[in-house]
Amino acid sequence: MRNELVLVTGGSGFVGVHCILQLLDAGYRVRTTVRSLQREAEVRAMLKVGGVAAGDRLTFVAADLLSDAGWAEAVAGCDFVLHVASPFPASAPKQEDELIRPAREGALRVLRAAREAGVKRVVLTSSFVAIGYGKAPTDRPFSEQDWTDLNGRDVTAYGKSKTLAERAAWEFMAREGGDLTLSVINPVGIFGPALGPDISTSLQIIQRIMNGGLPAVPRLVYGCVDVRDVADLHIRAMTHPAANGERFLAVADGQLSFLEISQLLKAHMGKAGEKAPTRVFPDWVLRLGAPFDPSVAQVVHELGKIRVATNEKAKRLLDWRPRANEEAILASARSLVQLGLV
């Protein structure tokens, strides 16, 4: 059994708690940061839903992305760090810095603390919005070599926050990383099983479709990935020699439109899927800003702009094999039913 200690930042979040779950299951000891230690019981309850009783193999430290307090304690004695924590709101903020500052400053705080503590590797959770936005339409798939153009018209505050945070992380490593190594994961829209009632922005979309909150769906196509596969890719990148200094797109094979998601729920979720709409909103409705703000949903195709991302690198270098999109969507829906959220 492994006895290495891994810090997971943002352990109460959707990706963070699944990372903790898989690390504990693999035999690692885990420390996690939360903004308030009052969330410890909530995290432990989610892990129990996931089938793991953490016991004393999981410890907690209070730390905030905008403060130096707690980070030295958080990384002390750690072999690896998964820096997952970053704000992801359900609607656009009033001020861009509400997202940009904690994302960028938080990443740098974690990297500095990790370097000083002698951590072997940090795996940073970035996003596809740091890769495929601000660009003219293209027929080729986006890869890890691409970067979002911050001057593009479709780049939102969230997109800026993730792009600037990742850029800052790579610049830090080039300038003063020392013996620390860095890998980055860039997921698209993350679905899969929720473990608690405080659900992610992506799962709120599934919840809204199933609760009958939409008379129709927008004409959007998602690049999807299951949260369990995102966590798995983090752990592979954490230890694999080939992941040093690399970024990896986390995206399953193929894409799903909102309409296909709705039809999937209607076909496979019984009574719970009966309210899923079967028609598409006209484009002009979406341009008025309803019912979704596409800027904060990690969509890969919006109103004719096609963004296809490739997972070839993660498969080739890390032997990563993601679940099918349909499995991720149905796992999301079933968990929402089990939690009484639809």
| Strand ranges (E), the chain | 5-9, 29-34, 58-62, 80-83, 121-125, 181-187, 189-191, 220-222, 224-226, 247-250, 256-257, 299-302, 305-306
Contact between residue 61 and residue 32 where contact means Cβ atoms under 8 Å apart: yes
Burial class (CB in 10 A: 0-12, 13-18, 19+), 91: exposed
β-strands 299-302, 29-34: how paired? unpaired
Cβ-proximal residues to 215 (8 Å cutoff; 6+ apart), any chain: 277, 279
Calpha distance 130→137 (Å, rounded) = 16
SS3 sequence, 200-254? CHHHHHHHHHHCCCCCCECCEEECEEEHHHHHHHHHHHHHCHHHCCCEEEECCCC
Calpha distance 307→325 (Å, rounded) = 16
162 is catalytic: yes
Calpha distance 26→187 (Å, rounded) = 22
Classify the C-alpha dihedral 183-188-192-193 as positive or negative: positive
Q: Which candidate in 48, 120, 162, 275 is catalytic? A: 162
Q: What angle do helix axes 97-117 and 157-176 make, rounded to 10 degrees?
A: 20
Report DSSP state, residue 1.
-
The whole-angstrom distance between residue 74's C-alpha and the CA centroid of its chain comes to: 21
Catalytic positions are 162
